[in-house]
C-alpha cells in the first residue's frame, strides 16, 4: 500500500482578487488617517454585528438601502454594500494590497512552510527566515555576505537563495537536513509563480462577528492581526507619500511587520475558526452528536428496581423517541404531520399528558412484543476499552418531571463502567431495531456476573455498601432467632 503524504496547497490570492466582482481594497492611505470615526469604519469594513437578525432581504449597514433590488450596490451614506444577512456563498470582498513601490510579500502559507524548513525561532532569537527578511536583524555568522537581507533582496534573489539552502548550505546537507527538506523542491516547483503575492484577502464579514454585552463589544482572536495589518500598511503608504528619510529601510521593516501580521491572521483563522474546540472542524465534523444518542448526568434509583432498568428525564425521552411519538400521533390520534411535529416539539418545553401516555404505550408494547424489560439502549461512559464500560440496558420509565434532567440508574452495576453519583455524565444510544438486541445481549449486566479470568463471581456487578450494611445488620440481629 502506497502512503500519500498531505502537502499544503496554496490559493492564488492575486487571481482571487482579479476574479472577485466588486473586490475592494482596504483603505490604508491618507483616507485611513483622516477618518472621523476609525472604529466605526473598521466595523463597516470587516465585521457583521451578531445582534443583527439574519434575513433574506438585502440591506446596507445603516438601513438606507433596503430590498433585494439594491443587492450589490454601495450605499452613498454608510459606504457599505447592500447585501443579505443570510449568506449562502461566502466570498472574499476586501483585500489588502501591497503597493507597487514595495516588493510583494510571501504568501502566508508559503511563509509557514519555508519558516519550518529553515528553522523556527530558538532561545529568544528570531527564526532564520525572519532574520533574512528583516533588515534590522543580525544574520548568522556563516551567512553574512552570502545571503542578502530585506524583502526586496529576498524577492529578487529568491531562486538563488533557495538553491543555496537546498544544495550548498552545509547545515542542511546531512541526513536530517535532507529528510526535512524532502518535499521542498516539489513545493517550490509547483507554486513558484504564486509564492509572492500583492493581495491578502480578508474573510467575509459574516465570519467576523461582533457581539455586544452592555457597552462592550466582543470578537474573535483573528481580528487583532487583521487590524494590525491595516496599521502597518497605513504607516508604509503614509511614509512613502511624505518622502520620509531612509524610506527603504523603514519601508522594508514595516513591510516585514505587515507580512508577519498577515501570517498571524491566516494561522489564527485556521486555529480559532477551524481546528480548536470551538472551530468548525471539531464542532461541526468531528464533534457532532450521532443521531439517537444522548448524554446526561446520572443519579441512583430511589426505589426497588432491577439492575438493567433505566429511567430517562422527560425532555430527553421526548427528544430521543420523537419519531415514534409522531408516528403514533398520526396513526392512532389522527394528527396531521405538521400537527404531530408541533405537538412533539412543544412537549419538550412543557409536560404533555398525551405525550406521556404515548411514551408509556411505547414501553408497554415493547415489553409485550419482545418479552424484554423495556426500550433497549446502549449506555456507557467514555472513554472505555473494557467489557462493561458500555452496557445493554432497558428504559422502563420516562420521568414526567420537566425540571428533572438526570438519568436514573442502578448502583449495582457501577463498578464496570467506573461511575458514581457525584455529577458523572454518561452517554446512551437508542437501539431502534429490536432484532438487533440479541446481538448486544453480550453487553447485558448479567454477563458481567461471572469473572472472565477465573472461576468465580465478578466484582463488576455487586451489592452496594448500604445494602451490605443492612444485610449484615439483619444477619447479626438477635431478634431473628427468637
As a whole number of angstroms, the distance between CA 377 and CA 362 comes to: 14
Q: Cα(161)–Cα(138) distance, rounded to whole angstroms?
A: 17
Between residues 125 and 284, which one has the greater pLDDT?
125
Q: What is the mean pLDDT of residues 269-289?
A: 67
Lowest-pLDDT range of 38-47, 48-57, 346-355? 48-57
CB 13 within 8 A of CB 199: yes
Looking at residue 3, its pLDDT comes to 47
Query: Does residue 281 have a cis bond before it (omega within 30 degrees)?
Result: no
pLDDT in the model for residue 2:
45
Query: Mind listing the pLDDT tens digit for each residue in 238-255?
Result: 887 776 656 787 888 889
462: nearest Cα among 451, 473, 453: 451
User: How many other CB atoms are there within 10 angstroms of residue 125's CB atom?
Assistant: 12
CB 61 within 8 A of CB 85: no
Tell me what the mean pLDDT of segment 381-388 comes to. 78
> Is the pLDDT score of 50 beyond 80?
no
Calpha distance 215→465 (Å, rounded): 55
Q: How many residues does the chain have?
A: 482
Give the contacts of 108 (CB within 8 A, at least 6 positions apart).
Answer: 200, 262, 263, 265, 266, 267
Q: What is the dihedral of CA 367, 369, 371, 377, to 10 degrees?
A: -60
Highest mean pLDDT among 173-182, 286-295, 320-329: 320-329
* Banded model confidence at residue 472, pLDDT cuts 50, 70, 90: confident
> Given this model, what pLDDT does residue 286 score?
63
CB under 8 A, 24+ apart: contacts of 207-210:
207/90, 207/273, 208/46, 208/47, 208/48, 209/47, 209/48, 209/49, 209/50, 210/43, 210/47, 210/48, 210/49, 210/50
> For 447, phi and psi rounded to 5 degrees?
-70, -25
Residues 109 and 195: beta-carbon distance below 8 Å: no
Task: Count CB-CB contacts under 10 A for residue 354.
Answer: 14
With a cut of 60, say whether residue 448 has pLDDT above it.
Answer: yes
Q: What is the arithmetic mean of pLDDT over 290-310?
A: 87
Strand partners, 199: 97
**pLDDT higher than threshold 80 for residue 277:** no
Q: Are 10 and 194 in contact (CB under 8 A)?
A: yes
pLDDT-based confidence at residue 75 (cuts at 50, 70, 90): confident
Distances (CA, A) of 393 to 75, 376, 427, 433: 62, 6, 12, 15
Q: Taking residues 201-223, report their average pLDDT.
A: 70
Look at residue 282 in the predicted model and tell me its pLDDT.
64
Residues 6+ apart with CB under 8 A from 75: 60, 61, 62, 64, 65, 81, 82
pLDDT at 387: 79
In this structure, CATH architecture of domain 293-318+348-473: Beta Barrel (2.40)
Mean pLDDT estimate for the chain = 82
CA 240 – CA 101 distance, rounded (Å): 9
Residue 342 dihedral angles phi and psi, to the nearest 5°: -65, -40
Stretch(es) of the chain classified as CATH 2.40.40.20: 293-318+348-473
Could you tell me where the beta strands, DSSP code E, fall in 254-389? 293-300, 309-312, 375-380
Specify the residue for cell string 423495556: 374
Query: Does pTM top 0.85 for this prediction?
Result: no
How does DSSP classify residue 8?
-
Neighbours of 235 (CB within 10 A): 20
Least confident segment among 134-138, 243-247, 255-259, 380-384: 243-247
Which residues touch 240 (CB under 8 Å, ≥6 apart)?
99, 101, 247, 251
pLDDT at position 90: 62
Give the other-Cβ count within 10 Å of 26's Cβ. 19
- 357 to each of 319, 325, 362, how far by Cα in Å? 15, 10, 9
Least confident of 21-30, 297-306, 364-373: 21-30
Amino acid at each position: 500500500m502506497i502512503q500519500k503524504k498531505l502537502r499544503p496547497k496554496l490559493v492564488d490570492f492575486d487571481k482571487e482578487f482579479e476574479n472577485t466582482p466588486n473586490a475592494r481594497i482596504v483603505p490604508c492611505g491618507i483616507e485611513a488617517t483622516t477618518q472621523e470615526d476609525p472604529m466605526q469604519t473598521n466595523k463597516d469594513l470587516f465585521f457583521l454585528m451578531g445582534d443583527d437578525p439574519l434575513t433574506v432581504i438585502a440591506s446596507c449597514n445603516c438601513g438606507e438601502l433596503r430590498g433585494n433590488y439594491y443587492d450589490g450596490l454601495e450605499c452613498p451614506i454608510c459606504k457599505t454594500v447592500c447585501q443579505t444577512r443570510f449568506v449562502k456563498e461566502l466570498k472574499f470582498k476586501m483585500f489588502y494590497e501591497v503597493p507597487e513601490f514595495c516588493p510583494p510579500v510571501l504568501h502566508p502559507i508559503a511563509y509557514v512552510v519555508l519558516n519550518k524548513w529553515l528553522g523556527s525561532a530558538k532561545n529568544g532569537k528570531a527564526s532564520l527566515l525572519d532574520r533574512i527578511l528583516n533588515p534590522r536583524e543580525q544574520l548568522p555568522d556563516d551567512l553574512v555576505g552570502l545571503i542578502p537581507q530585506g524583502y526586496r533582496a529576498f524577492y529578487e534573489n529568491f531562486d538563488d537563495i533557495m538553491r543555496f539552502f537546498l544544495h550548498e548550505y552545509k547545515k542542511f546537507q546531512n541526513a536530517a537536513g535532507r529528510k526535512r527538506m524532502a518535499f521542498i523542491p516539489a513545493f517550490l516547483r509547483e507554486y513558484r509563480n504564486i509564492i509572492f503575492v500583492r493581495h491578502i484577502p480578508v474573510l467575509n464579514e459574516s465570519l467576523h462577528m461582533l457581539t455586544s454585552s452592555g457597552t462592550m463589544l466582543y470578537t474573535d482572536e483573528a481580528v487583532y492581526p487583521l487590524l494590525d495589518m491595516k496599521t502597518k500598511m497605513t504607516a508604509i503608504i503614509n511614509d512613502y507619500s511624505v518622502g520620509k528619510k531612509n524610506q527603504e529601510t523603514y519601508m522594508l521593516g514595516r513591510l516585514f511587520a505587515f507580512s508577519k501580521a498577515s501570517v498571524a491572521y491566516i494561522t489564527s483563522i485556521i486555529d480559532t475558526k477551524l481546528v480548536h474546540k470551538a472551530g468548525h472542524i471539531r464542532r461541526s465534523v468531528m464533534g457532532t452528536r450521532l443521531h439517537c444518542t444522548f448524554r446526561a448526568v446520572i443519579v441512583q434509583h430511589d426505589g426497588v428496581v432491577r439492575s438493567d432498568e433505566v429511567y430517562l428525564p422527560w425532555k430527553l425521552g421526548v427528544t430521543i423517541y420523537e419519531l415514534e411519538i409522531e408516528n403514533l400521533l398520526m396513526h392512532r390520534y389522527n394528527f396531521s404531520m405538521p400537527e404531530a411535529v408541533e405537538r412533539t416539539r412543544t412537549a419538550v418545553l412543557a409536560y404533555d399528558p398525551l405525550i406521556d401516555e404515548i411514551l408509556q404505550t411505547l414501553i408497554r408494547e415493547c415489553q409485550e412484543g419482545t418479552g424484554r424489560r423495556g426500550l433497549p439502549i446502549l449506555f456507557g461512559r467514555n472513554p472505555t476499552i473494557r467489557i462493561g464500560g458500555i452496557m445493554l440496558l432497558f428504559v422502563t420509565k420516562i420521568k414526567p418531571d420537566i425540571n428533572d434532567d438526570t438519568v436514573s440508574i442502578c448502583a449495582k452495576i457501577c463498578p464496570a463502567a467506573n461511575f458514581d453519583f457525584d455529577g458523572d455524565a454518561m452517554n446512551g444510544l437508542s437501539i431502534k431495531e429490536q432484532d438487533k438486541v440479541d446481538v448486544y445481549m453480550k453487553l447485558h449486566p448479567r454477563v458481567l456476573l461471572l469473572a472472565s479470568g477465573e472461576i468465580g463471581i465478578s466484582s463488576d456487578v455487586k451489592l452496594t455498601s448500604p445494602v451490605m450494611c443492612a444485610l449484615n445488620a439483619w444477619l447479626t440481629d438477635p431478634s431473628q432467632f427468637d
